[in-house]
Chain A
Amino acid sequence: MTALLVALGAVVGAPARFLVARALPGVTATLAVNVAGSALLGALGGASTGTAALVGVGFCGAFTTYSAFAVEAVEARSWRYVVATVVLCVGAAAISRSVAG
């Protein structure tokens, strides 16, 4: 049952990331999905097991991506991009964590 919820979240999250990548230029797209997904996952602190599987593991996990970020960082040879991603994603997760309680 939990695996089904993960799959349902992922079947929405991965294509949503793909659409953002077509709409925004370059690394901006990956940065945007990663920051937004980190904020959403941080807000799920007290969520039920089902919501955590559907929205957390499934949607947020598939919406955000580490592999594309790492390859982009290599292609762009940009540590600025790496630092910006980490600061913004961890910052977004920490803020939404504290706001959501």
Chain B
Amino acid sequence: MRRAGGSADPDAEPGIWRPLVLVALGGVVGSLARYGLGSALPGIWTTFGINVAGSFLLGALVVRWPPGHWSRPLLGSGVLGGFTTMSGLAVQAVDASPTTGTVYLAATLLAGVAAAALGTRT
């Protein structure tokens, strides 16, 4: 089993259940937060804010804790993975008018990648 990044996997099978449960727990928390924000403030720019904020936080997280740390599955793959969404972005862009969809995609990509880069420099 290999994980992204190419470095030697520190959790080379000392039980897959622990990280799996942490990811599931975090995923529920992050998804409910996304659902709550989307219900309170409906619209594509709420998703924009969620994706940009989540990218910044994940960038800050990965430079603080190594891949084997418990925060990676719980907060990284779990909370922030569940909080941010690519499927929501893609479908919202398709459903929007061509102009809004294009602006929305470009803004999310530029701000999201910039936020992730900024996060890694914190």
Query: Measuring CB to CB, which residues of chain A are less than 8 angstroms from any residue of chain B?
Result: 2-3, 6-7, 9-11, 13-15, 17-19, 21-23, 25-27, 29-30, 34, 37-38, 40-42, 53, 57-58, 60-75, 82, 85-86, 89-90, 92-94, 97
> In angstroms, how far is the closest chain B Cβ from the Cβ of A78?
10
* Contact status B94-A94, CB under 8 Å: yes
Least Cβ distance of A85 to chain B in Å? Answer: 7
Cα of A40 to Cα of B90 in the assembled complex, Å: 11
Q: A3-B36, A21-B77, A70-B58 are in contact. List 10 more A-B contacts (CB 8 A).
A: A14-B27, A38-B87, A41-B90, A64-B85, A66-B84, A67-B81, A68-B80, A70-B112, A74-B117, A90-B93
Nearest Cβ distance between residue B1 and chain A, in whole angstroms? Answer: 5
In the complex, chain A residues whose CB is within 8 Å of the CB of B119: 71
B: residues with CB less than 8 A from A are: 1-6, 16, 19-20, 23-24, 26-28, 30-32, 34-36, 38, 51, 54-55, 57-59, 62, 73, 76-78, 80-91, 93-95, 105, 108-109, 112-113, 115-117, 119-120
Main secondary structure of the interface of B (DSSP, over half): helix
Contact (Cβ within 8 A) B87 A21: no
Inter-chain CA distance A26–B7, complex, in Å, is 11
Shortest Cβ distance from A100 into chain B, in angstroms? 11
Instruction: Assess whether A25 is in contact with B89, with CB atoms less than 8 Å apart.
Output: no
Known contacts A38-B90, A42-B91, A70 near B31 by CB under 8 Å: no
Given contacts A21-B3, A89-B89, are A11 and B27 in contact (CB under 8 A)? yes
Check A26 against B5 for contact (C-beta < 8 Å): yes
Task: Kindly name the residue among B19, B76, B84 whose own CB sees the greatest number of chain A CB atoms within 10 A.
Answer: B84
